A and B are shown apart, each in its own frame.
Chain A
Amino acid sequence: NAGVTQTPKFRVLKTGQSMTLLCAQDMNHEYMYWYRQDPGMGLRLIHYSVGEGTTAKGEVPDGYNVSRLKKQNFLLGLESAAPSQTSVYFCASSGSTGGWRNSPLHFGNGTRLTVT
């Protein structure tokens, strides 16, 4: 029972490099989300998806792109990394059947990204 799996767990990038964070869920959830956690800021929503092939901007979308080509996967891309993107990134999913409130967000264990 894996739930939400994030890869990689850790990554160090140089400024200007690109990378993709992968999120996979095995709960057949419709909704998926990417959050970032910074000290003193709580978790802030970057992008989200309400179904396969759909994406939408959250609170802090600048500098990130996402794709949801398959229902179980949600990818977060950084095209040109900046030190301000040093953070812990969390992926989450929730169900829509009966309303998401019957299946509140399930989170992965996070990816710690450092941009130097």
Chain B
Amino acid sequence: DQQVKQNSPSLSVQEGRISILNCDYTNSMFDYFLWYKKYPAEGPTFLISISSIKDKNEDGRFTVFLNKSAKHLSLHIVPSQPGDSAVYFCAASAKGGTSYGKLTFGQGTILTVHP
């Protein structure tokens, strides 16, 4: 029972263009969403997050959009750079004080940005 799904295993884009990574969730108790980036042989690193009280959060070239009614979020990278090539994981956390930072992760999307 995959509560967080990233249905695209991979995405290839040209340098300078927009990269759009998608994520769907099924659990209506999730109220906080995060994106992590992972390079080979390294651990995931936090990229950007969004609370369910917002529909957009922006940080430099990275913007996350949340559509609560569709239970869908997306990460936009503009402009894409070759150094953005990595695996991107979507993650979600449930409401409440007992969430303790426990995250449910999607399967990941491999992004390749070609020079």
The residues of A with any CB-CB pair to B shorter than 8 Å are 4, 31, 33, 35, 40-45, 48, 50, 58-59, 90, 92, 94, 100-101, 104-110
Contact = CB atoms under 8 A, between A and B. Distances in A.
B101 A107 contact: no
A90 B93 CA distance: 18
Interface of B: 4, 6, 32, 34, 36, 41-46, 49, 51, 89, 91, 93, 99-108
A79 B106 CA distance: 29
Contacts of A94: 101
13 contacts: A31-B100, A33-B101, A42-B89, A43-B89, A92-B43, A94-B101, A100-B101, A101-B93, A104-B101, A107-B45, A109-B41, A110-B41, A110-B43
Contacts of B45: 107
Residue of A50, A90, A100, A104 with most partner-chain B CB within 10 A: A104
Nearest to A91: B43
A100 B100 contact: yes
Given A107-B45, A109-B43, A45 B89 contact: no
B2 to A, nearest CB: 8
A45 B94 CA distance: 14
Given A48-B100, A109-B41, A43 B105 contact: yes
Given A40-B107, A107-B44, 14 more contacts: A4-B43, A35-B105, A42-B89, A43-B91, A43-B105, A45-B102, A48-B101, A90-B44, A101-B32, A101-B49, A104-B34, A104-B49, A105-B101, A107-B36
B44 A33 contact: no
B108 A42 contact: yes
A108 B41 CA distance: 10
A50 B100 contact: yes
